[in-house]
Structure 1
Amino acid sequence: MVDARLDQFDRKILSLLQADGRLTNNDLSERVNLSPSQCSRRRQRLEDDGFIRGYRAVLDRDRLGFPLVNVISVTLATHNRDNAQRFADLLARLPEVQEAHALTGEMDYILKVVTPDLKSLADFVNGVLLPHEAVQHVKTAIVLQTLKETQALPL
């Protein structure tokens, strides 16, 4: 459910900015049919209210040497708050982990991990994940093809 404080102009601004965060207020004003000053105030409010959490560049993973995308499921050794926190602390220190989700069901976590090659993946699983005290079981899958990858919300 979209926040009731957002009107059609706010949603349009959000939609445009998630497609291209480099749009200027002049660009936005032309596309939304508001003045640049109105767009600026709205953008600032959307940032201040936390609807826009930040801006970043989308980098080319392949060109930067991380062509392998891996999906790794993890089951914890014990299911308690301390063990889950130890695992969360580990993940926070691992830059190759792009996403980490706690799940219901038979596995506890699913990770999206990028690596330069298979050896790096093996080193990550065997040298980092499996030896960790919180981890009981790890299952890996290598992504053969990415059909869709987006952070865009369906506004």
Structure 2
Amino acid sequence: MAKNTNLDELDHKILQIIQTDSQKTLKEISEQVNLSLSPTHDRIKRMESDGYIQGYVALLNRKKLNLGLLVHCQVTLEKQNRKNFREFESAILNFPEVTSCHLVSGNFDYYLNVVSADVESYNQFYQEKLAVLPSVAHISTLFVMDEIKQTTALPV
């Protein structure tokens, strides 16, 4: 794994700690990296301002929130042109069910992760929101049977 040349080993350790538990106190982080509070704070602020740390969030349990069905969708557009890409992406940004959307190369144009309560509610999303977008030509749906690994942690 290639290390970023702008970050040293202490920065990487701090990033590992923060992405595992962003609620750790500055004191706890500084103790773990064996650095005093002020330099630890300065490093974190620098990594925030340089964009290495984009923000802090709570990770929610989708199953507890009645969003137990995870669906992967492969979407192909009618025509691959700027207008269609822009319209599709604009629409997707307004669908809270879509937790990620990626423009990809290959046999389809977009790869989406969608969360839903169950197959019926996914079908409603599919029929009323996704399939009716003007530029969509084909959607292939994959229902996740079991999640083996799901993480937000990056290998730093």
Q: TM-score range by the shorter chain?
A: over 0.9
* Matching residue of 1:33: 34
**RMSD, aligned α-carbons:** 0.8
Contiguous gaps of at least 5 residues in structure 2: none
**Where in structure 1 are there 5+ consecutive unaligned residues?**
none
Between the two structures, name the one with larger relative contact order (CA 8 Å, sep ≥ 6).
2
Matches within 5 A, 1:67-82: 67-82=68-83
Q: How far 1:49 moved relative to its partner?
A: 0.6
Counting only pairs closer than 5 Å after superposition, residues 79-98 of structure 1 correspond to structure 2 as 79-98=80-99
Equivalences for residues 134-149 of structure 1 within 5 A = 134-149=135-150
Give how far 1:115 is off.
Answer: 0.4
**Could you tell me which amino acid in structure 2 is paired with residue 147 of structure 1?**
I
Identity %: 38
Query: What SS is found at the alignment partner of 1:131?
Result: coil
SS across alignment from 2:18: helix
Task: Tell me the distance in 1 between the aligned counterparts of 2:130 and 2:95.
Answer: 10
| TM-score (normalizing by structure 1) | 0.97
Size of the aligned set, in residue pairs, is 155
Superposition deviation, residue 23 in structure 1 = 1.1
Q: Distance in 1 between matches of 2:138 and 2:14?
A: 44
Q: 1:62, 1:28 → 2: CA distance? A: 31
How much has 1:2 moved relative to structure 2? 3.0
Matches for 1:5-24 after TM superposition, within 5 Å: 5-24=6-25
Q: Deviations over 1:107-135 (max 9, x none)?
A: 11110000011111111111111111010
Q: How far off is 1:3 after superposition?
A: 2.3
Listed one character per residue, the Cα deviations across residues 34-66 of structure 1 (whole Å, up to 9, x for unaligned) are 001111111111101100000000101001110
Contact 1:25-1:37 within 8 A present in 2 as well: no
